[in-house]
């Protein structure tokens, strides 16, 4: 496999990017939730305390299946899992900050590869894990992915999967009923044509669930890739879009406003998985979401390519979302954590987790038999030299967390007011205020 997401974080993590801190211990306020931090350090040696946010359909079953395999291998290690609900880690990230500030991190926790890790590395809250990265792992993880978990030449995380963000999921029964050919959708304009057709027949074209904001940013990211292409996306994440009159930025926002005309009216009340539920129930035809939606539909008993299908936009792009686990410097049980990290780096763990999760293995030598047809296609795409790999903005890899937080707020406001000019100005000022000062490396997506 080739190219594209080049050595972002390799040599030059020396700089900036401190996440705005929450409060220490006690309660952490988030946009929609109050999370109570109930961390207690277990005295036993054979404990693995782990934080993750996989609580929705598909993801919950996936992580539990891995826990079971780990338990089979290490029956003496007790897993103390702390799932914090809220897709994309919206709530868990706040809890983590509090635990870190209190000096009481868990033994390991879920974090996206790339920029999302940077503040922890900078604050020396993570231990380098070069010893975990055996030759076998170095030989079998694509270089691009390895580079996304390296800072100053050291490994800091082990990826368990690769998700794809740029996917439109559709209810096959609805498409068949209205004679819509998914293969006719090759561009954003095609997608809007189909949306218009469905709307005229009384069907809600898209399910959106942006109660936690990020699903709106996620759709915006996919529209940006579809309208602006990889070059604009690269400029955007490198902080090069600094003119509020940039015509492509405006075109992207106009296209995004068009998409918003076709979403369910109660989108602000729903979460990402509830939006998938609308597609499953037949109350909406499509949803723009990462392939954890695949895990969701499978958990509901739906069959890929029979009940639901996937349209990739743009078709030659793999918008990477990579879930990893790390070793906090102050982990109470580092030996158990190391066993966990080594385990998730194996084919066995990845082929237990990913078939259920909807993602694909991060390793390139995992046998394909446990995967469904959509996953098999995605595995092929990831390995194809003509696929362009881009890091996800919404899922933490591409931009500093402070900028992502601004962007979530800006896009959330846009969903309500659809004001292109004001939003372009807000984005540009966030680029100047929170992206550029925290930038650590230039992305080259070719
Ligand atoms: C993403 C994460 C996925 C999935 C999704 C919804 O950020 O990478 O694994 O969990 O959030 O929760």
CA of 200 to the centre of ligand 1 (A): 33
What's residue 25's pLDDT?
27
Which atom number of ligand 1 is nearest to the Cα of residue 395?
7
In whole angstroms, give the CA distance from residue 297 to residue 115. Answer: 30
CA of 87 to the centre of ligand 1 (A): 6
The closest-lying atom of ligand 1 relative to the alpha carbon of residue 273 is 6
* Gap from CA of 6 to ligand 1 centroid (Å): 23
Instruction: Report which ligand 1 atom has the smallest distance to the Cα of 290.
Output: 5
Whether domain 47-162+323-383 has CATH 1.10.287.3510: the reply is no
Diameter of the chain measured on Cα atoms: 62
Supply the pTM of this predicted model: 0.92
Q: Give, for ligand 1, the residue of 51, 53, 357 to mutate: max count of ligand atoms closer than 8 Å to Cβ.
A: 53
Phi then psi for residue 308, to 5 deg, are -145, 160
Closest Cα to atom 5 of ligand 1:
88
State which ligand 1 atom lies nearest to the alpha carbon of 55.
Answer: 12
Tokens standing for residue 242: 């600094």
Residue whose Cα lies nearest atom 6 of ligand 1: it is: 87
- Which of 96, 165, 292 gets mutated to test ligand 1 (max ligand atoms within 8 A of its CB)? 292
| Predicted pLDDT at 207 | 99
Query: Residue 292 CA: which ligand 1 atom is closest?
Result: 4
pLDDT value at residue 327: 98
For residue 406, what pLDDT is reported? 98
CA angle 216, 218, 221 (to 5 degrees): 110
Distance from the CA of 56 to the center of ligand 1, in angstroms? 10
| Ligand 1 atom nearest to 59, measured from its CA | 10
Residue 324 sits at φ, ψ, to 5 deg, of: -135, 170
Q: Which class does domain 164-320+393-438 fall in?
A: alpha beta
Please answer whether residues 363 and 141 qualify as being in contact, where contact means their C-beta atoms are separated by less than 8 angstroms.
yes
Residues with CB under 6 A from ligand 1: 53-54, 59, 87-89, 163, 272, 292, 321, 323, 395
Domain segments of the chain as ranges: 47-162+323-383, 164-320+393-438
Continuous segment of H or E residues that includes residue 320 = strand 317-321
Which residue in the block uniquely carries the two structure tokens 């997401």? Answer: 5
Mutate to test the pocket of ligand 1, among 66, 160, 163, 297 (most ligand atoms within 8 A of CB): 163
What burial letters (b/e) apply to 290-319, b meaning 16+ CB within 10 Å?
bbbbbbbbbbeebebeebbbbbbbbeebbb
Q: Tell how far the Cα of 237 is from the centroid of ligand 1, in angstroms.
A: 20
Among residues 359, 293, 292, 290, the alpha carbon closest in space to that of 319 is found at 290
Mutate to test the pocket of ligand 1, among 321, 350, 362 (most ligand atoms within 8 A of CB): 321
State the pLDDT at residue 118: 97
Residue nearest to atom 2 of ligand 1 (CA): 88
Averaged over successive runs of 10 residues, the pLDDT of the chain (446 residues) comes to 38 29 29 44 74 98 98 97 97 96 97 98 98 98 97 98 99 98 98 98 98 98 98 98 98 98 98 98 99 98 98 98 98 97 98 98 97 98 96 98 98 98 98 98 90
CA 402 to each of CA 15, 236, 333: distance values in angstroms, whole numbers, following the listed order = 14, 15, 30
Centre of ligand 1 from the C-alpha of residue 177, in Å:
31
Domain 47-162+323-383 shares a fold with domain 164-320+393-438: yes
Task: Kindly report the protein residue whose alpha carbon is nearest to atom 11 of ligand 1.
Answer: 88
What pLDDT, in 10s, does the model give residues 283-330?
999 999 999 999 999 999 999 999 999 999 999 999 999 999 999 999
For residue 195, CA distances in Å to 150, 156, 178, 209, 252 come to 42, 43, 12, 17, 17
Q: What is the pLDDT of residues 231-243, one digit of tens each?
A: 999 999 999 999 9
């Amino acid at each position: 496999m080739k190219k594209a997401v080049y050595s972002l974080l390799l040599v030059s993590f020396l700089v900036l990017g401190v996440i705005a801190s929450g409060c220490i211990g006690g309660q952490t306020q988030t946009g929609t939730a109050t999370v109570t931090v109930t961390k207690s350090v277990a005295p036993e040696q054979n404990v693995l305390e782990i934080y993750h946010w996989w609580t929705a359909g598909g993801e919950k079953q996936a992580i539990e299946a891995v826990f079971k395999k780990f338990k089979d291998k290490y029956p003496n290690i007790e897993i103390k899992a702390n799932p914090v609900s809220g897709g994309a880690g919206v709530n868990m990230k706040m809890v983590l900050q509090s635990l870190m500030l209190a000096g009481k991190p868990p033994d390991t926790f879920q974090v996206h590869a790339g920029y999302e890790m940077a503040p922890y590395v900078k604050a020396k809250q993570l231990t380098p894990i070069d010893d975990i990265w055996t030759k076998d792992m170095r030989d079998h993880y694509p270089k691009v992915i390895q580079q996304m978990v390296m800072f100053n030449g050291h490994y800091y995380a082990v990826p368990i999967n690769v998700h794809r963000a740029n996917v439109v999921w559709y209810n096959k029964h609805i498409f068949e009923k209205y004679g819509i050919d998914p293969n006719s959708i090759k561009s954003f304009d095609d997608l809007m044509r189909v949306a218009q057709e469905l709307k005229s027949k009384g069907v809600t074209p898209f399910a959106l669930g942006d109660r936690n904001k990020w699903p709106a940013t996620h759709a915006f990211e996919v529209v940006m890739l579809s309208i602006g292409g990889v070059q604009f996306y690269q400029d955007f994440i490198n902080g090069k879009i600094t003119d509020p009159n940039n015509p492509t930025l405006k075109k992207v926002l106009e296209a995004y406003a068009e998409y918003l005309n076709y979403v369910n009216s109660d989108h602000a009340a729903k979460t990402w998985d509830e939006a998938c539920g609308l597609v499953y129930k037949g109350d909406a035809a499509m949803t723009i979401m990462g392939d954890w939606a695949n895990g969701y539909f499978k958990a509901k008993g739906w069959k890929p390519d029979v009940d639901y299908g996937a349209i990739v936009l743009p078709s030659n792009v793999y918008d990477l979302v990579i879930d990893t686990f790390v070793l906090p410097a102050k982990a109470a049980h580092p030996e158990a954590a190391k066993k966990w990290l080594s385990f998730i780096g194996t084919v066995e763990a990845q082929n237990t987790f990913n078939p259920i999760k909807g993602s694909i293995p991060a390793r390139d030598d995992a046998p394909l038999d446990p995967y469904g047809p959509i996953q098999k296609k995605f595995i092929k795409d990831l390995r194809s030299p003509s696929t362009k790999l881009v890091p996800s903005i919404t899922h933490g890899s591409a931009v500093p967390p402070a900028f992502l937080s601004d962007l979530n707020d800006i896009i959330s406001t846009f969903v309500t007011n659809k004001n292109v000019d004001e939003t372009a100005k807000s984005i540009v000022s966030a680029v100047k205020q929170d992206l550029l000062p925290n930038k650590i490396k230039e992305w080259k997506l070719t």
